[in-house]
Amino acid sequence: MIEKEVVLEKELYGTLAAPDQEGTHPAILLIAGSGPLDRNGNGPKGKYQTNLYKDLAHFFTSLGFMTLRYDKRGTGKRGGSWMDAGLSDLLDDAKRAVAFLQAQPNVDRVIVCGHSEGTIIATELAATMDVDGCMLLSGGVDNLMDALHHQRQQAYRELFAMPGWKGWVNRKLKIDVKNEKKTEKMMGKMKASDRDTIRIQGMKQPAKWFREHDAYNTRAALGEVTCPVFALHGNKDPLVESSVLEELAGLVQGESEYHIVADMEHGLRVQTEPKSILKQKKLMNVVLKRPLHEEGLERMEAWLQQFAASGHKSA
């Protein structure tokens, strides 16, 4: 594998990796999930060192694909603030990354591969650009507001199921009803604002990011996608609703497939412990020491091999 740092226009830094073999190759653009994650999938100041996108890039490159991963705004070598960036800004960066790959003389096709929030960005790229394939990892079909709603519902279920008096108090106080009203009020303030960020109860919130995600219709965008689509979830992932993947085939115009892998969590690693959104941060400390899920890798490899053999190219 040959790996080098590249600088796209406007200080967009990334890492381009290529197989050792000469000639042209299909390329995969890796698009990160939400929050201050750099090109490798790591948070600032040593927090949340997942290396997920670095690991995926190396895996894909070992299969004969070129890969590009890049720093989000305010991470790695990139200036700016990740909290000031809206969905439109994230899309602009991703579109520039696609154009960069398509301009490389040794790239013959481009797949966009999004993880978590990145699946929404990958969907829009597949709907509006001439890309040749789309991979949706730990996300897909739902927009951000749908996903956040599912996450809150998962939290309520866990809070109500707590043993003894804790669960009884949570049910008695109807914390779900109260929190939904609080969430609606907060969203109303962000929608009414025209600023990138605002403070709500002393906490800085990415208002532009929420507004633009709220306005985005992922399902409508999927209706414009003609390239092959692959989606992958884990059944231990509390941040997604996997049942929505059943809609995929009826939304996209081209071929699609999805898989739900047993004992795989949001970061595509092995998790044998029960699914829990309330214990997710605690579980992460344990899960990050484990490898990427073997079946998840096998599912991705099988689809990519089929893609490579098909010679499919966007019209």
Q: How confident is the model at residue 315 (pLDDT cuts 50, 70, 90)?
A: low
The amino acid that residue 264 corresponds to is: M
* pLDDT for 154 beyond 80: yes
What is the model's pLDDT at position 129? 97
Residue pLDDT, tens place only, 172-217: 899 899 999 999 999 999 899 999 999 988 889 999 999 999 999 9
Contact 263, 270 (CB under 8 A): yes
Pure H helices in the chain: 52-62, 87-102, 118-128, 144-160, 164-172, 175-192, 207-215, 218-222, 248-251, 280-287, 294-310
Q: Which pLDDT tens digit goes with each residue over 57-115?
A: 999 999 999 999 999 999 989 988 999 999 999 999 999 999 999 999 999 999 999 99
The more confident residue out of 28 and 203 is 28
Structure confidence by residue, pLDDT tens digits, 288-298? 999 999 999 99
